[in-house]
Chains A and B, each alone.
Chain A
Amino acid sequence: MSEALNEALHEEMDRDAGVLVIGEDIAQMGGLFQVTKGLLDRFGPQRVIDAPISEAAQAGAGVGAALVGCRPVVELQIADFVSLVMDQVVNHAGKWRYMSGGRVTVPFVLRGAVSSGIGMAAQHSQTLESWFVHAPGLVVVMPSTPYDAKGLLKAAIRDDNPVVFLEKRLLYSRPGPVPEGEYTVPLGVADVKREGGDVTVATYAAGVQLSLQAARQLAHDGVEVEVVDLRTLKPLDAETLVTSVRKTGRLVVVTEAARAGSFASEVVARVCDEAFGALRAAPVRVTARDTPIPYSAPLERAVMPQVDDVVAGVNAALERVAVEGVSA
């Protein structure tokens, strides 16, 4: 997936001289995860900026560059550092257009690597998309495949709105087909990654792989799971989601984020708003536990959702079993 993202950046920087990237170790080194590899040689230091370790300044500078007509892409080395840029993103990027009465646009992309699952511990492993979903004015994207990652990043760069684009680090090395030619993946459109008639599993980012694995297991049991990859969390493609739930009558939402106030809760609420009558069972959330992410492998596994948890969540939605910790 990192190569796909790299292609997206190359193509968009080629296409529009206003696109610039700024972040830590992104120029000379090509980024900790090589997403910005080769950009410096091709586009030079004015457009590919190795910034001092000062995330708030990088994000704020991105907003300022956007206001004067550039299309900045700010890379947060680790997505947890969003806590350091919150004011710039929430109070500036997300609001500047509205506060100005629509006089300005802020075409700004903030990328960050979500690093859970590999023992990076509590300050490098959070899944914090719900913070941004809650802030008006932002678009929030979390891709699950190389194809989607490339197409969505290109669309995000071209969009005139601020986009928070969170990438699961474990997916960087994951291969997947990416066509040769030019394409984008539209923002705000979900993708059914597997069709099935029994249970809808709505998920995104690394949750998609978990859910597809669970779906394969459940298929042996004769349960057909439909996996809806939301891709863009805000705006949410409620139409695709609700269409699936109307078909299956059952909903499981899978996210690697902590449970309370998670985006899974929002998805459940949205489905209840729009299709409560179609639900044949209580919706189920499969999430991380409400703890900081621990370091040691058995501890991290214990708090992060695993394939078995998704299977258990689907079984709960089918009312086949009552499962502790995943029931609604």
Chain B
Amino acid sequence: MTTVTRATEDVLALEELLRRMWQIRAFELRAMALFEENLIRGSVHPYVGMEAIAVGVCAALGLNDYITSTHRGHGHCIAKGLDLKLMMAEIIGREDGYCRGRGGSMHITAMDKGMLGADAIVAGSSALAVGAAHGLRLRGSDGIVVCFFGDGAANQGVLHEACNLAAVLRAPVVFVCENNEWAISTPAAASTRIADIAERAAGYGFPGVVTDGNDVLGVRDVTAEAAARARSGGGPTLIEAKSYRVTPHSAATKTDLRPPEELDAWRARDPILRFSRRLAEEHGVAPARLEQIEEQSRRDVEEAVEFALASPRPAPEAALEDVYAPAEWLTPGRLA
């Protein structure tokens, strides 16, 4: 791979990373507010504090590459270039949403953007990512698949199976563990006896890397290396991005057992503010420009909310559509 050095960084590309991170932040805070206003059903799982992971990872991916996501998936979607309007319409349950209101917050899918789907079964999409990666190779694509999962998912059985199968197949897949320290109320330290989940990669015979999940460029660079390895037939990599979710597990979760001082410490390491400072100090981006990016991101999200609220609610009859793909045997009323 070619390691991008600071001196050769394209400032416009860096500003784009910042913009994506602010969009995620604004989107999540707005979604939480919409939940409080009862405009969102069920729940939303905000990605606040973890924006650098999704944006850094997706910055290293190309148009032929795919991702799988989790219940906490909005950040992955935005980082992969999905449309905020269609996302918000989906989350509010409207016809113009990515999934026509069938999936909601936890199941956004957009194949045209390389988004294989968000999966609300913890670790559920890990095997799917391996198969998609193998399938892409079989079909002659140079695409790879990134599988996002959390520290909580790290102890699920299917992830073990998926990692091992990926290794055996040398599948072009990158496993990205977003270690945000807490699985709802259970700290990662209470769920495993190892300090770094990345250590487990050794057990599968592929590299494991720990990276600072609040450093967007660091995440981008380790992902670029892993992606190049996958693409060239070198097999999988496990990246563990250490970060923290600053917001509660979900908008509907009212109990938060995390110590306030821990939250404060992580807020001080905010990935967006940190990257903003770096852009100002190392790349000469003016404060006014940084503010403008933040402001514009908020406006983008407001436009998405307006679009979503103006979108029609799905017709009740549509609930019976798309259970099956078109087939000869699928005559109307047949499955009623």
Q: Contact residues of A with B, CB < 8 Å?
A: 17-18, 20, 46-47, 49, 51-52, 54, 56-70, 72, 87-88, 91-92, 96-107, 136-137, 139, 159-161, 186-189, 232, 234-235
Asked whether, in the complex, the Cβ of A65 is within 8 Å of the Cβ of B135, the reply is yes
Give CA–CA (A140, B335) in the complex, Å: 13
Of A46, A52, A65, which contacts B164 at CB under 8 A? A52
Alpha-carbon distance A49/B157, docked complex (angstroms): 21
B97 and A101 within 8 A (CB): yes
Q: Flag if A91 contacts B121 (CB, 8 Å).
A: yes
A91 and B117 contacting across the interface, CB-CB below 8 Å:
no
Q: Are B121 and A101 in contact (CB under 8 A)?
A: no
Q: Among B208-216, B244-252, B318-326, which stretch is in contact with chain A?
A: B318-326
Evaluate contact between B107 and A65: CB separation under 8 angstroms: no
A189 to B330, CA, bound (A): 11
Cα-based distance from A323 to B169 in the complex (angstroms): 56
Q: Are A87 and B158 in contact (CB under 8 A)?
A: yes
A92 to B107, CA, bound (A): 11
Complex Cα gap A101–B99 (Å): 4
The verdict on B102 contacting chain A, using a C-beta distance below 8 Å, is yes
Q: Is the CB of A101 within 8 A of B101?
A: yes
B162 to chain A, nearest CB (A): 5
B residues adjacent to A (C-beta < 8 A): 66, 68, 97-103, 107, 109-111, 116-117, 119, 121, 124-139, 141, 145, 157-158, 160-162, 164-165, 168-169, 321-330, 334-335
State in angstroms the CA–CA spacing of A161 and B110 once bound together. 19
Query: Is the pair A63, B327 in contact by a Cβ cutoff of 8 Å?
Result: no
Docked-complex contact A64 and B131, CB < 8 angstroms = yes
Residues of B within 8 A of A187 (CB): 327-329
Closest residue of A by beta carbon distance from B162 = A57
- Cβ–Cβ contact A54 & B117, under 8 A: no
- Cross-chain contact B127 with A61 (CB below 8 angstroms): yes
Instruction: State whether B158 touches A20 (Cβ < 8 A).
Output: no
**B145: which A residues are within 8 A, CB to CB?**
64
Q: Which residues of B contact A87 (CB under 8 A)?
A: 121, 124, 158
A60 and B160 alpha carbons, distance in the complex (Å): 13
Chain B residues with Cβ below 8 Å from A160 are: 325-327
Q: Which of A18, A161, A187: most chain B CB closer than 10 A?
A: A161
* A51–B167 alpha-carbon span in the complex (Å): 11
Contact sample, A vs B, 19 pairs, CB 8 Å cutoff: A56-B127, A57-B127, A60-B128, A60-B158, A60-B161, A64-B134, A64-B135, A67-B117, A68-B116, A70-B139, A92-B125, A99-B102, A99-B107, A99-B109, A100-B109, A101-B98, A102-B100, A187-B329, A188-B329
What 9 additional pairs, Cβ within 8 angstroms, besides A67-B128, A72-B135, A91-B121? A52-B164, A57-B164, A64-B131, A68-B141, A70-B135, A91-B124, A96-B109, A100-B98, A103-B111
Docked Cα-Cα span, A161 to B325, in Å, equals: 6
Q: Please give, as numbers and ranges, the residues of chain A lying within 8 Å of B334 by CB-CB distance.
A: 188, 235
Q: Is the pair A58, B329 in contact by a Cβ cutoff of 8 Å?
A: no
In the bound complex, do residue B102 and residue A61 qualify as a contact, i.e. CB atoms below 8 Å apart? no
A63→B131 contact, CB < 8 A: yes
Given A60-B130, A92-B119, A68-B328 contact (CB < 8 Å): no
* Neighbour of B165 across the interface among A58, A139, A188, CB < 8 A: A58
CA distance A101 to B321 in the complex (A): 8
Nearest neighbor of A234 in chain B, beta-carbon distance = B335
A-B residue pairs, 8 tightest by C-beta:
A60-B127, A64-B131, A61-B131, A188-B329, A102-B322, A65-B135, A101-B99, A57-B161
List, in ascending order, chain A residues with CB within 8 A of B126's CB.
60
Contact between chains at B109 and A103 (CB < 8 Å): yes
Q: Determine the chain A residues whose CB is within 8 A of the CB of B117 once the complex forms.
A: 67, 96, 99-100, 104
Does the CB pair A20–B138 fall under 8 Å? yes
Residue of A nearest to B112 (CB): A103
By CB atoms of chain A within 10 A, which of B68, B121, B135, B136 has the most? B135
* Option from A67, A105, A232 in Cβ contact (under 8 Å) with B325: A105
Chain A contacts of B323 at CB under 8 A?
97-98, 136-137
Residue contact B325 to A61, C-beta cutoff 8 Å: no
> Which A residues are CB-close (under 8 A) to B325?
97, 102, 105-107, 159-161
Q: A60-B128, A64-B116, A70-B138 are in contact. Are A101 and B103 (CB under 8 A)?
A: yes
